[in-house]
Structure 1
Amino acid sequence: MVRHLKTKSDTTTGGVSSTSSSVAATVKDVIDTIRSRGDAAVREYSQKFDKWSPSSFKLSQSQIDAAIAACPKQIIDDIKAVQTNVRNFAQAQRESIRDFEVETQPGVFLGQKNVPISSVGAYIPGGRYPLLASAHMTILTAKVAGVQHVIGCTPPIAGQIPNGTVAAMALAGADEIFILGGVQAVAAMAVGTETIRKVDFIAGPGNAFVAEGKRQLFGEVGIDLFAGPTEILIVADDAADPFTVATDLLSQAEHGPDSPAVLITTSERVGHESMALVDELPKNLPTAALARTSWKDFGEVVVVDSLDEAWKLADEYAFEHVQIFTRRPREALEKMRNYGALFLGEKTCVSYGDKVIGTNHVLPTRKAARYTGGLWVGKFLRTVTYQEVTSESSSAELGRLCGRAARAENFEGHARSGDLRAHKYLNDEYGWIAESSSVEMKSSRL
C-alpha cells in the first residue's frame, strides 16, 4: 500500500515536460546562424547572452597559467585530489573494456577493437555556479579513454574568466579552452567555425537551451545524454536519520527550481520528521530560495508497507541519483534495476558523487535510467569489429551459407558474393558464373 505524505504540485510534471517551442525556436535560430555566419555569429550571441566579447574566446597558455595562479593553493590541491579519484576510477573502467580476437571456426577470425573518438567538445556550465567538477567528469574521462583532442567551453561569470573552472579544465587535460557559453558554444563546437574546430562528440550538462542544442545537433555529432533537471530519490527504513535525509534532499534541491527530490520510506515517522526538517533547514541555507521552490513544487514523500514495495516503486521513478538509507543498503544492488547511480548507506551521499568520490556525475534523468547509464569511459570509445577468413574451405562453406541466406531475403547480389567463394575454393558450379565467364571470354576476343 502506498501513502503520499507529500505530492508534487498539480501544476508540475516532475521535470518531464517537453521542451517549450520558444526554447526550441531560439536554439534552432542560433545553430542556423552560426552554421552560416561562423565566428561573427558566435561573437554576437556571446555579447547578447553573456555580455562577453573579448578579442579571442580561446585562452592563451599565459591566460591559463594566470588563471591557475589566481586560485588559492588549497583549491588547486583539492582539484588535483578529486581528479586523482576520477582518473583512478576511469582507468579501472578502461581496463575493464578489452579488445579481443576469436577463431570461430578453422581459419575464420573475428575481432573487436575499442577505438577512441578523435575529438570531443566538453561543455562546462557556469551560470549559477562554477561547476569545476564537470571539467573532471568530461575532459578527464575523455582523456583517459584516449581522445586525442578535447575542447573545453565554459561561460564567463559576471563578465570575468572563472579561474577555478579554467584551472580544473587545464589540469584535466583540455587541449583548448574557450570562455564561451550557452548554445553558441555547443553549436560552434558541433558545426565548426573559423577559429573553433568541429568536434565529433559533445559531452557535459547545461541549462534547457544547452540541452535543446544537443538534442537538435544529435546525429551531426554524438552526445553523452539528453540531460534534464537533477533528481534525487532516497529509500529509507525506520532506522534512517531524518536529519540526514532532509539534508541530502536539500543538497540536490538547490540545483534549481525544478529539481525533483523524493523520499520513499517504510516509516511514517521518518517521513513526517524528514518533511519538517526540510522546511526548517533552509533558514540558514544560502540557496534556500531555489531549494524551497524545488521542494514545494517537485518534492514527494511516499510511505510504503515494505522494502520490496520501496524497491519496486523506486524502479518506477528511475531517478538519476538514488540513496539507500536502510539497515542492509547493499540489498538495493540485488533488488533495483533503474537508476543512474546508487549511493549505499548513510556514510555515502550524492554530493560525494557530484564532486569528489570519482564516479561520473553526468547521469540519466527523466526516466532515461530505464535504458542507459551515465557518462563513462566507454562513451568516448567506438567499439568496432573486423573479420578475416584465411581458410579456403571455411570461406567456401560460408559462401554456400551466404548464398542460401541472402536468397531467402531476395538479395541476389549478396548471394553471388558467397557463390563466388564457393566456386573458387570448392569448384561449385553456378549458372550466373558460367554466363558471366562466357561474356568475359567473348569480350576479351573483341
Structure 2
Amino acid sequence: MVQTFLKVAQSQETQDTSSPPHVVEIVKTAIAKIRAEGDAAVREFSEKFDKWSPKSFRLTQEQIDASIAALPEQTVKDIKQVQANVRRFAEAQRSSLTDFEIETQPGVILGQKNVPIEKVGCYIPGGRYPLLASAHMTILTAKVAGCKKVIGCTPPILGEIPHASVAAMHLAGADEIYLLGGVQAVAAMAVGTETIDKVHFLAGPGNAFVAEAKRQLFGEVGIDLFAGPTELLILADAKARAHTVACDLLSQAEHGYDTPVILISTSEQLAMDAIAEVEKQLKTLRTADVASKSWADHGQVIVVSSLDEMYALADQFASEHVQVMTENPREALTKMSHYGALFLGEKTCTSYGDKCIGTNHVLPTRKAARFTGGLWVGKFLKTCSYQHVIDDEASGELGRLCGRAARAENFEGHARSGDVRAHLYLGDKVDWIQ
C-alpha cells in the first residue's frame, strides 16, 4: 500500500482503553463510599464537585415544566423534531426484532422472545457542551425498546438547572430526572441509594471519571459501550470540496483536545487544499481553542494511490465516524467492514448523526468497531430463548442423546436428567433408577 503522510499526529495515538491510575483510585473510592453511605455520600460528592446540594436531587414536575417554559419556543420545537427522527428510526429497529417459535422436530418447540430491560439509567453530560442530544439517543431509545423505568441524570451547570437538557430528558420519556453529575450519578444509579432506584443497565457518554465508573460497575450492571474520545475519518477523492472537508474535520475536532480527525484521500491536491482550509477556518471558529489543539496533536492527512487502498486503510482505523466524500460513496457499504457509522456523500455529515438525523450517536471508539456496533434498540432488550417438549417419544429420544452427550463430558448429573426422560417416556431400563 502506497501512503504519503501530509500531516502526522504530534501526539502518539494509543488504543489503550485503561484509565490513569489516579482516576481508577478516585472512582473506586467514590463507588465504595456511595455503596456504604448511600445518599449522604452522593450529597458529599455533589457538593464537592458540582457545588450542588438541593433538598432533593430529583426534579419535580413543576421544575421540569419551568425548564421547558424557560426555553425559546423554537428550541422546544427543534427538540421534538429531532426526537421524532430518532423515534422513527428506533421504532424501525424494534420492528425488525421479532419473537419466533419453531418446531425443530415433532413435539420439540423452541422459541425466542425479546424482553426489555426493566430498569435503565441514562447519563446526560453537561460541562462545556451540555449534550441534550444524548437524551434522545439513550432515554428515548430505551423507551422505544419498552423499558419500564428509565432514570436520567445530568449535572447542574454553574449551580443552575440546564433547562435544555432537562426538557430533552423529559420529552424523551424519562420517568425520573435527577440533577446529579459524575461518578456520584453513575454509582448512585448502579448500586442504588435510599432515594435513587438501582438500575440494571447504564447508558450514555461522559468524562474520564464517568467512563471509569461504568468500567468498574460493569458486571453488576450492564453498560452500552466503553467510550473514548470522538473520532472522525473522512475518505475523499479529487471531486470532494476542500472547504467542506475542512469544515467537517473541525466539526468533530471541537469535541475535545484528544479527538482524532483524519483525512484519507486519493488526491494530493485535495489533501493539501483541505489542510490550508483547516488553518483558515480555525481563525474564525469560536471553539478554535479546543479544535486547534485536537487538529495539531491528533490530526492526520494521508494520500493513497487508489480507492481500494483508501477503503483498506480505513478499515484498519476502524473509526467511530466515517464520512465518504467520493463520486460513488455507496461503494463503501460493500468495500468496508469496520466502522461505527457511515455518512455517505457530501450531502451527509457526521454532525447530522450527532445532532438530528435520527440514527444513534453513541458509537464504538478505539477500534471497538471491529467487534461491535453502537447503541441501538437491541441493546435495551434481552434476547431470551425458551423450550417446550410436548411429545413423549421426542422427550425420550432427547433423554438418550443427553445421557450420551453428558457422559462424554463426565457430567453424570446431567446424564441422569436425560435417563429419567428415557425411562419415563420410552421405557428404558436404567440401572441407577430403583
| Counterpart for residue 212 of structure 2 | 212
SS in 1 for 2:256: coil
Q: Cα distance, 1:132 vs. partner?
A: 1.1
Query: Which amino acid counterpart does residue 30 of structure 1 have in structure 2?
Result: A
Aligned residues: 433
Identity among equivalent pairs (%):
69
The 8 Å contact of residues 15 and 260 in structure 1, kept in 2 or not, is answered as no
Tell me the TM-score normalized by structure 1: 0.96
| Counterpart for residue 73 of structure 1 | 73
The 8 Å contact of residues 8 and 14 in structure 1, kept in 2 or not, is answered as no
Query: Which amino acid counterpart does residue 64 of structure 2 have in structure 1?
Result: I
| Counterpart for residue 8 of structure 1 | 9
The 8 Å contact of residues 237 and 267 in structure 1, kept in 2 or not, is answered as yes
Q: Cα distance, 1:17 vs. partner?
A: 5.8
Task: Work out the CA distance in 1 between the residues paired with 2:425 and 2:199.
Answer: 46
| Counterpart for residue 308 of structure 1 | 308
| Counterpart for residue 352 of structure 2 | 352
SS in 2 for 1:330: helix
Task: Work out the CA distance in 2 between the residues paired with 1:356 and 1:238.
Answer: 29
Query: Which amino acid counterpart does residue 202 of structure 1 have in structure 2?
Result: L
SS in 2 for 1:202: strand
Structure of larger gyration radius: 1
The 8 Å contact of residues 15 and 367 in structure 2, kept in 1 or not, is answered as no
| Counterpart for residue 243 of structure 1 | 243
Query: Which amino acid counterpart does residue 386 of structure 2 have in structure 1?
Result: Y
The 8 Å contact of residues 14 and 258 in structure 1, kept in 2 or not, is answered as no
| Counterpart for residue 407 of structure 2 | 407
Q: Cα distance, 1:16 vs. partner?
A: 4.1
| Counterpart for residue 105 of structure 2 | 105
| Counterpart for residue 444 of structure 1 | none
Task: Work out the CA distance in 1 between the residues paired with 2:197 and 2:71.
Answer: 29
SS in 1 for 2:286: coil
SS in 2 for 1:279: helix
Q: Cα distance, 1:272 vs. partner?
A: 0.6
SS in 1 for 2:329: coil
Task: Work out the CA distance in 2 between the residues paired with 1:296 and 1:14.
Answer: 16
Residue correspondence of structure 1 range 26-425 to structure 2 within 5 A = 26-425=26-425
SS in 2 for 1:66: helix
SS in 2 for 1:62: helix
Task: Work out the CA distance in 2 between the residues paired with 1:213 and 1:303.
Answer: 40
Q: Cα distance, 1:18 vs. partner?
A: 3.1
Task: Work out the CA distance in 2 between the residues paired with 1:102 and 1:49.
Answer: 55
**Residues 189-235 of structure 1: per-residue CA shift (max 9 Å, x gap):** 00001111100000000011100000000000000000000000001
SS in 1 for 2:102: strand
**Residues 238-269 of structure 1: per-residue CA shift (max 9 Å, x gap):** 11111110000000000000000000100001
Query: Which amino acid counterpart does residue 159 of structure 2 have in structure 1?
Result: G
SS in 2 for 1:431: coil
**Residues 147-186 of structure 1: per-residue CA shift (max 9 Å, x gap):** 0000000001111000000000000000000010011100
Q: Cα distance, 1:13 vs. partner?
A: 2.1
SS in 2 for 1:284: coil
The 8 Å contact of residues 114 and 383 in structure 2, kept in 1 or not, is answered as yes
| Counterpart for residue 19 of structure 1 | 19
The 8 Å contact of residues 17 and 228 in structure 2, kept in 1 or not, is answered as no
**Structure 1 runs not aligned, ≥5 long:** 438-446
Task: Work out the CA distance in 2 between the residues paired with 1:405 and 1:69.
Answer: 66
The 8 Å contact of residues 15 and 258 in structure 1, kept in 2 or not, is answered as no
SS in 1 for 2:125: coil
Structure 1 residues 251, 17: closer, same or farther in 2, change over 3 A? Answer: same
The 8 Å contact of residues 8 and 297 in structure 1, kept in 2 or not, is answered as yes
Task: Work out the CA distance in 1 between the residues paired with 2:392 and 2:118.
Answer: 37
Task: Work out the CA distance in 2 between the residues paired with 1:290 and 1:185.
Answer: 27
**Residues 295-344 of structure 1: per-residue CA shift (max 9 Å, x gap):** 00000001101111111110010010000000000000000000000000
Q: Cα distance, 1:419 vs. partner?
A: 1.0
The 8 Å contact of residues 90 and 376 in structure 2, kept in 1 or not, is answered as yes
Task: Work out the CA distance in 2 between the residues paired with 1:206 and 1:168.
Answer: 17
Query: Which amino acid counterpart does residue 58 of structure 2 have in structure 1?
Result: K
Task: Work out the CA distance in 2 between the residues paired with 1:38 and 1:282.
Answer: 46
SS in 1 for 2:235: strand
The 8 Å contact of residues 237 and 267 in structure 2, kept in 1 or not, is answered as yes
Query: Which amino acid counterpart does residue 273 of structure 1 have in structure 2?
Result: D
Q: Cα distance, 1:12 vs. partner?
A: 2.9
| Counterpart for residue 429 of structure 1 | 429
Q: Cα distance, 1:14 vs. partner?
A: 4.7
| Counterpart for residue 442 of structure 1 | none
Task: Work out the CA distance in 1 between the residues paired with 2:430 and 2:169.
Answer: 63
Q: Cα distance, 1:431 vs. partner?
A: 1.0
Task: Work out the CA distance in 1 between the residues paired with 2:325 and 2:242.
Answer: 10
Task: Work out the CA distance in 2 between the residues paired with 1:281 and 1:126.
Answer: 27
Structure 1 residues 176, 17: closer, same or farther in 2, change over 3 A? Answer: closer
Task: Work out the CA distance in 2 between the residues paired with 1:19 and 1:168.
Answer: 30
SS in 2 for 1:12: coil
Query: Which amino acid counterpart does residue 127 of structure 1 have in structure 2?
Result: G
The 8 Å contact of residues 14 and 260 in structure 1, kept in 2 or not, is answered as no
Query: Which amino acid counterpart does residue 177 of structure 2 have in structure 1?
Result: I
Query: Which amino acid counterpart does residue 392 of structure 2 have in structure 1?
Result: E
Task: Work out the CA distance in 2 between the residues paired with 1:276 and 1:33.
Answer: 52
Tell me the TM-score normalized by structure 2: 0.99
Q: Cα distance, 1:426 vs. partner?
A: 1.1
